[in-house]
Amino acid sequence: MTDDVLGPGDARSPGGLAAERLRWGAGGRLLVDGVDVTAPPGTVTGLLGPNGSGKTTLLRLLAGVRRPEDGTVVLDGTDLHAASARARARAVALVEQDATTDLPITVLDAVLLGRIPHRSLLAGPRASDRTAALEALDAAGAAALRDREVTTLSGGERQRVHLARALAQQPRLLLLDEPTNHLDVRAQLETMTVLRKLVADGVTVVTALHELTMAAHACDHVVLLAAGRVVAAGTVEDVLVPEVLEPVYGVRVDVLRHPRTGRPVLAYAES
């Protein structure tokens, strides 16, 4: 049973992601120190925090690619770290920051990698894998790149390909590490639109973000980290306020309102 797709689990459980008391350290320093994260299905949760606050490490723990020293990661009622690696990979996808390769590989082949957890390791991609990969390319707005070599892509194009690869995994939990890095403003908004469409289909999305205004624009919930601990968690309106942000980032913060969307727009000044 361990190799089955992770089931819907306990009917009483709320569903979505529930991580508790996560702890992980390296070189005698705790990078993630007792972190709780909950993300209901069909929502985008933003992981915020200054450089080195533990966002990337936390994402790896949530993705199950790194085993926490303590704590649990539960997706739809099933403990991710107790499941087999392949079953986990069918339920959870991770888009890393700046994943690159020197090997020549076409975009379509790179996206097809996302189908590996869905077939036998001895088998090649089937027609259904190809269909899923092409749909994922389309959904990530990278259909035109399909036959290009990944090594010839710009940073922004490459980011879309990685997003497409994660979509091809058809995950129920999608984790992203700064997916809007390297992207121009339009591409940033488009990426966030892709994520909004995914959550409309019931996928749970957790994404690390640097740009707080982007988080205010696209996230339902945010978790603010500092030095490996959760400083604040809740809705955008609760967390993205000067009283919470100023001590964490060490800057003056003013919250304005977007004239069209009414969402918070953050302005900064050195304190």
Partner 1 sequence: MTPVTVPVSTERPTAPGTPSTSGAAPAPRGSSGPRAAVWLVGAAIVLVLSVSVAVTLGPAHLPVSDVWRSVAQHLGLDGPLGLDRLAPLPDGLVWELRLPRVLTAAGVGAGLAVCGVVMQSLTRNPLADPYLLGLSSGASLGAVCVLGLGVAMVLPVAAFAGALLALLATLGLAGAAGGLTPSRTVLAGLAVSQLAAAGVSFVIFWTSTGDSYQDILSWLLGSVAGATWTSVAVTCGATLVLGGVLAATGSLLDAFTFGDTAAAALGVPVERARRILLVLVAILTGALVSQSGSIGFVGLVLPHAVRLVVGTRNRLLLPLSGLLGASFLVWADTAARTVFAPREIPVGVMTAAVGAPVFAFLLWRGRGRA
- Distances in Å between the Cα of 70 and the Cα atoms of 24, 33, 56, 223 are 7, 9, 17, 20
Residue number with CB closer to partner 1 (113 or 187): 113
Phi, psi (degrees; rounded to nearest 5) at 268: -120, 150
Name which of residues 122 to 151 contact partner 1 (CB under 8 A): 122-125, 130, 143-149, 151
Give the whole-angstrom CA distance, residue 137 versus residue 178: 19
Tell me: does residue 262 bind partner 1 (CB under 8 A): no
Residue among 5, 105, 226, 231 that touches partner 1 (CB under 8 A): 105
Q: Work out whether strand 173-177 and strand 92-95 pair parallel, antiparallel, or are unpaired.
A: parallel
Of 85, 251, 256, 267, the residue at the interface with partner 1 (CB under 8 A) is 85
CA separation for the pair 222, 238 (Å, rounded): 9
Amino acid at 234: G
100 or 235, CB closer to partner 1? 100
CB 184 within 8 A of CB 156: yes
Q: How far is the CB of 123 from partner 1 (least distance, A)?
A: 7
Q: Does 152 bind partner 1 (CB under 8 A)?
A: yes
By beta-carbon proximity to partner 1, the closer residue of 49 and 64 is 64
Segment lying near partner 1 (by CB under 8 A), choices 105-113, 196-204, 218-226, 248-256: 105-113
What is the distance between the alpha carbons of residues 113 and 96, in angstroms, rounded to a whole number?
14
| DSSP codes, 156-197 | HHHHHHHHHHHHHT--SEEEEESTTTT--HHHHHHHHHHHHH
Cα separation, 170 vs 203, whole angstroms: 9
Q: Is residue 5 at the binding interface for partner 1, with CB under 8 A as the rule?
A: no
* 108 makes contact with partner 1 (CB under 8 A): yes
Does residue 196 interact with partner 1 by CB under 8 A? no
Residue from 47, 110, 223, 230 binding partner 1 (CB under 8 A): 110
Q: Binding residues for partner 1, how many (CB under 8 A)?
A: 49
**Interface with partner 1 in residues 35-74 (CB under 8 A):** 60, 63-66
Q: Contacts by 116-120 with C-beta closer than 8 Å and gap 24+?
A: 116/89, 117/86, 117/89, 117/90, 117/169, 118/90, 118/169, 118/170
Q: Does 102 bind partner 1 (CB under 8 A)?
A: yes
Binding site for partner 1 (CB under 8 A): 60, 63-66, 84-90, 92-94, 96, 99-106, 108-110, 113-114, 116-117, 119, 121-125, 130, 143-149, 151-152, 162, 169
